Structure 1
Amino acid sequence: MDKPALLQRIVATLEQDMEVLRRAAQTAYEAATAEENIAENKYDTLGLEASYLATGQARRTAEIRQALVTYQQLLLRDYDPARGIQIGCLVTLEDEDGQQRRLFLGPEGAGLKIGEGAEQVTVITPRAPLGQQMLGKRVDDEISLVVNGLAQVQFIIAVS
């Protein structure tokens, strides 16, 4: 999958996620304000719980909206070995066992998975430890992270 196609799929996924959350927040808001959910005593918290849920969903919708705007404005550039890995790079890592994974260093949307199988790309950001380590690195560089007390070494085998 090339970067322009990946960017289109990220935008489409964020749009879909935002719409699903918007509808869920609307449903929770309606439940929070429904007349039958007015508290009859101090133990009747259905309306309050729905209100908390609606607030959280509205907040998450705003986060996704911001990520969507950021990706819609993202200018993809070709990889420049002199600068190393930057936001907008598609990176292939290989661990010591030969397992490969593809990562897109994006400005937002960490954890988003696009595609399936060998074509799957995971979005990470520079705020993640792996994203921080990748910034400025080049093909054949090594990245080492400690996860659950174990050092994991990965090699950058391709960048676009």
Structure 2
Amino acid sequence: MNKSHVIEHLKFALECKLQEAQQAADSARADAIHEQSAAETQYDSLSIESGYLAEGQSERVDQAHQAIHAFAGTYTVSCPSAIQVGTLVELADEQSEHHWFYIGPCEGGLKLTVGITPVRVITLASPIGRALQGRGAGEEIEFHFNGTTQWLEVISLS
């Protein structure tokens, strides 16, 4: 798999996430200041709730900006000998099925599709990330998930 294609898909996904958050924040702000949100009685809390929603949506925008900034530093890692942030990893499970992961600084769980191949972003703080950290091609790892043990082989790094 071409790492530069994965990076382009990742940049696009992060930009889309930022755009969605920005639209949601703009909509929440507009609702919070709309004349129909004004309290009619002392028990009417619609404007307060709208304000809290707008604040939360603005925090999502800030988090999206931080994620884009955090990933910018990971795009230059090339041909690592061990798994680290910025590494594209190919793993094979016990059934010889291949799985692709991009080790990111944040946004663990983000799913990308490059061509027809799914790629999942994981962080080194995740259980599988902790098991993979520092490993090289050809190494096997034991991974515990939901009470079951899985064995995975590191096929390639880029």
Range into which the TM-score falls when normalised by the shorter chain: 0.7 to 0.9
Deviation, structure 1 residue 79:
2.5
Deviates more, 1:147-156 or 1:72-81: 72-81
**Change beyond 3 A, Cα 1:152–1:52:** farther
Q: Is the 8 A contact 1:93 1:155 kept in 2?
A: yes
Q: How does 1:46-65 map to 2 (within 5 A)?
A: 46-65=46-65
Look up the equivalent residue of 1:135 and give its one-letter code: Q
**2:59, 2:18 → 1: CA distance?**
11
Cα deviations across residues 87-129 of structure 1 (Å, max 9, x unaligned)? 1111111211222210001122222111157521111111212
**1:17 aligned onto 2:17:** yes
Q: Is the 8 A contact 2:6 2:114 kept in 1?
A: no
SS in 2 for 1:92: strand
**1:154 aligned onto 2:152:** yes
**Change beyond 3 A, Cα 1:91–1:46:** same
**1:105, 1:120 → 2: CA distance?**
14
What residue number does 1:8 align with? 8
In structure 2, runs of 5+ residues without a counterpart are none
TM-align CA RMSD: 1.9
In structure 1, runs of 5+ residues without a counterpart are none
**Change beyond 3 A, Cα 1:42–1:126:** farther
What is the TM-score when the length of structure 2 is the normalising length? 0.88
Identity of aligned residues (%): 32
Q: Is the 8 A contact 1:28 1:53 kept in 2?
A: yes
Q: Is the 8 A contact 2:143 2:151 kept in 1?
A: yes
